[in-house]
Structure 1
Amino acid sequence: MNWSGVAAWVREHAPALHAAFLPPSGIEIGGVPPDLAAWWREFDGVDRAVLGDESPLLPLSWHPLDVVSALRRRTRADRLPIAADCFDDADLLFVDLHDGSVVTEETGREWDRVTAMLDHVLRMFERNDDPVYRLLRYEDGHINWDTRPTLTRGSHAVQ
């Protein structure tokens, strides 16, 4: 899992986001995928009250939840919320507890595992060459995400 790389990049390039990182809670959660448990041992989400709708850590607009909020917001036995949309707090990103995938209600599977999500975010931070998401960096220490425009020629979508 590449959490340490993500955290180091944010500390250097997005200090406003880094200032909202919550320290590990020390709460051990059983029955979750090992990569989610490992992430939560190192990081307990962001202080969403500090960030508001700025600096979503995960594209396009996800603020990672702290462990207590995730457990409080859980409504299904087979899914555990791990992030909330920074614009619509009711919209959640989940880990499917059957296979460890990261999913949304609206679009389904986003990443195969938490590890894949963090590796993808680190690659986007370092290279900003993802075909779908574009990282935006601001002088005030915040970040944001956008989607890359797609033009359609015939039946093929091109960047």
Structure 2
Amino acid sequence: MFKVLKEKGTYLLLIRCLNDIKKKVGSLGLLTLHSNKTYIYVGSAFGPGGLLSRIRRHLSREKRKFWHIDYILDYENKCYVVYVVIIPKVKAEHEIARDLLKIADGALRNFGSSDCGCYAHMFFFSKKPKETLFLVEEYLEKRNYEYTILRPYHNISR
């Protein structure tokens, strides 16, 4: 297990859907996610269990729906986490969300941000996951963030 997963911190989930999905997501109503986009969800884990607990939850296909992202990453949908980017020990969720809004091709308004003033915490890019990951790395390096990239189905046991 990676030492970084024992920390608390900020994380980004790079998500790809195998087919277009339409899903009612809590108070946000009906949302559409497209298979030709890569989605990035920005979150943080500063509670008990830290990053490992939160990321394991997101990777689990069956869970009680609590966060907006739970509606997308459930057993019914063909959407999967391709990469997890971890920024340990740093509370940067809102700053990163504001910055991603500037470079993304779009955002799902209010997704993941009902408890803050951010426009959204879920963004989409018209690039494949690897190309989107390169953009994220470039951004994080420019901001001098230390980060770790995981491929969840290779690195994290569920």
- Which one has a bigger Cα radius of gyration? 1
Question: Which of the pair has the greater relative contact order for Cα pairs under 8 Å at 6+ separation?
Answer: 2
